[in-house]
Amino acid sequence: MKFSANLGFLWTDLALPDAIRAAKNAGFDAVECHWPYDVPADEIRAALRDTGLPMLGLNTRRGDVAGGENGLAALPGREDDARALIDEAIGYAVAVDAANIHVMAGFASGREAHETYLGNLSYACTQAARHGRRILIEPLNPHDAPGYFLRTTGQAAEIIRDMARDTLRLMFDCYHVGRTEGDVTTRFTQLKPIIGHVQFASVPARAAPDQGELDYAYVFDAIAQAGWDAPLGAEYKPGGDTDASLGWLRARQA
């Protein structure tokens, strides 16, 4: 099984190019990030070239974080801003050859928010297709992101089916699914045809996967048995030194 280091949480004490190199040294097969935009793309390309690691994906910016925003794509009246962030994310993804762009929905609800979200996702899918990229959408659990528009895998699956765009896929985060819905491996198997990327962290603490109530030895094996062979994204909070949290990875590599 292959693993990707999410550098939004891992090695955050290092500059992003150095974090990429740290991920290679630790034995990861790929990397992904949250918001890399303050780092020149050529520095990321150099680190990826040096390590041979692919960059799997990145997120659109959240908007006015100090003002409480967590994405703009479902916010009525913010379409121009949302699409500017989508364009920025696709441009950066092309520059560093990242395959996926996670379009963040934001805090919203209701029919108008739904229609706004679909319109912005349609725009994102069209733009991504022109550059050979994919758009991901990810439900966030209500404990961490109360009021977030996209809440469940069922809601996401309905949107993906209704839009019927080849470039739109589900980000299946075992942590968020475990916190909100449970029955993680069954849901993964059911949703596998529309999944574009998989992430994980312990439940409920969002720590390393060798702790918590979810048995990741079982989960990883079930995902592999379902025929998934792309790297799984380690998107957890190490609670200190990242290298000290990697016992789970060394155990899988042994």
CA distance 25 to 83: 37
138 an active-site residue?
yes
Q: Which of 112, 138, 158, 181 is catalytic?
A: 138
Q: Other C-beta atoms within 10 Å of 69: how many?
A: 17
Report the run of H or E that residue 198 belongs to, with start and end.
Answer: strand 195-200
Q: Which residue type occupies 49?
A: R
In degrees to the nearest 10, what's the CA dihedral of 81, 86, 88, 92? Answer: 160
Please give the span between the terminal C-alpha atoms of the chain, in angstroms, as a whole number.
Answer: 12
CA 165 to chain centre: 19
Three-state SS string over 56-101 comes to CEEECCCCCCCCCCCECCCCCCCHHHHHHHHHHHHHHHHHHCCCEE
Report the run of H or E that residue 154 belongs to, with start and end.
Answer: helix 153-163
CA distance 121 to 237: 29
Sequence-distant (≥ 6) Cβ neighbours of residue 73 within 8 angstroms: 60, 82, 86, 103, 104, 105, 106, 116, 117, 120, 121, 124
Sequence-distant (≥ 6) Cβ neighbours of residue 229 within 8 angstroms: 2
Q: Which of 79, 88, 112, 235 is catalytic?
A: 235
Catalytic residues: 138, 235
